[in-house]
Structure 1
């Protein structure tokens, strides 16, 4: 079940503000350095967030006009855009980010209530109403604000983290090569069961730490409820 549309619109705005703030605190030298995402520098990450905004604009255009405009022109375009963008200089990347954010926000603001109900197809081939687009964007800017540095999952809205945990659990449930998990938050009414291989890993932690671990990021809980080392998970986004 997708989060409420009003919530996702709010999270998209909050996430954009968080990412913009994080970006303003990162030096050009830090952007050129590695991130916790395997093989990605800060420039790769920033290029991805910029290209994602433009790809979502294609879906907004689709919802507004009915003209089929996929997020990417080919299965390889996403990665090609990221790699090409990673070679831009920092000033050009920063300008691209601000331009792409402003353009996406303007296009989203222009959709009518009827157009929000029109269906589009995501890069993964899912047919969804346009009302899902703010959720798709809020995940990108919220999670990658953490990846960029300067903020952690504890700085994200708690209701967003609760929705993200449910979303991650649903996605990981479709990839059974992952370990089975039984996870619950100690400070919120959030619990998920993720089918997978072996006996479930049972973990209980504050919501922000639980979200960190389920998203495959460093800094989450280190042990299961029975005191065993908690294995890391591959990055989810």
Structure 2
């Protein structure tokens, strides 16, 4: 997968189209059903995705203008906006998703070469502006799965799954005393090592299944462990 944010927008557009198709299939009962996220309905997930797009617009604006525009006004405001939007009618959810996605695309188009080199402050610390498009893509693809509809990790594009897998493995490896494991995805001889290699179990499977398991969206039923034994317990992801 390319790291160029402008080229990556094609992936964002495709992922957004898939998300909108799923959202368009929901009625009021569907939106009130539980998602894969604790205490959130599908309506909460869709409201979060719309406000997340606006949050990324704020970060892109900060990168372009040099002004310290926060992603969200505050954690409390973020939570309140999601809660307020969760119970809306299906048509309003769909319109909000479309409009917020358009605002994000417009903000990306307004970026200059110099702006992409900036660093912005996200909820979890500083981030290169050049990674903001990847961040939005990650939000769409992961939370599409969280809707607990027809979209599964196996539906992720292979390039996205591999990049997510490598990113999450690197995140876990940087934690203090992570559980040791060696990850190997199907069709690749390359290994991702978390913790100490010596004596660590090797976990093998398709890249989407490995990535989904590492971020807590899958139980790992499609994965194999060598030597035989239980799967390690991955650390908590963002």
The alignment's TM-score, normalised by the length of structure 2, stands at 0.86
Does 2:140 align with 1:147?
Answer: no
* Partner-residue secondary structure (3-state), 1:120: strand
* Partner-residue secondary structure (3-state), 2:36: coil
2:51 & 2:179 partners in 1: Cα distance?
A: 32
1:124 & 1:43 partners in 2: Cα distance?
A: 24
Distance apart, 1:52 and its partner CA: 0.5
Residues 118 and 90 of structure 1: is their aligned pair in 2 closer, same or farther, counting only changes over 3 Å?
A: same
1:123 & 1:108 partners in 2: Cα distance?
A: 20
Q: Which residue is equivalent to 2:20?
A: 20
Q: Is the 8 A contact 1:18 1:142 kept in 2?
A: no
Distance apart, 1:233 and its partner CA: 4.3
Q: Which residue is equivalent to 1:50?
A: 50
Aligned residues: 234
Q: Which residue is equivalent to 2:191?
A: 191
Q: Which residue is equivalent to 2:93?
A: 93
Q: Which residue is equivalent to 1:228?
A: 229
Q: Which residue is equivalent to 1:66?
A: 66
Residues 71 and 188 of structure 1: is their aligned pair in 2 closer, same or farther, counting only changes over 3 Å?
A: same
Distance apart, 1:223 and its partner CA: 4.7
Residues 195 and 232 of structure 1: is their aligned pair in 2 closer, same or farther, counting only changes over 3 Å?
A: closer
Deviates more, 1:167-176 or 1:95-104: 167-176
Does 2:76 align with 1:76?
Answer: yes
Residues 188 and 10 of structure 1: is their aligned pair in 2 closer, same or farther, counting only changes over 3 Å?
A: farther
Q: Is the 8 A contact 1:216 1:232 kept in 2?
A: no
Structure 1 residue runs of 5 or longer lacking an equivalent are: none
Distance apart, 1:113 and its partner CA: 2.1
2:81 & 2:169 partners in 1: Cα distance?
A: 28
1:11 & 1:113 partners in 2: Cα distance?
A: 20
Residues 181 and 77 of structure 1: is their aligned pair in 2 closer, same or farther, counting only changes over 3 Å?
A: farther
Aligned Cα root-mean-square deviation (Å): 2.5
Distance apart, 1:165 and its partner CA: 0.6
Q: Is the 8 A contact 1:55 1:72 kept in 2?
A: yes
The alignment's TM-score, normalised by the length of structure 1, stands at 0.86
Structure 2 residue runs of 5 or longer lacking an equivalent are: none
Q: Is the 8 A contact 1:16 1:141 kept in 2?
A: yes
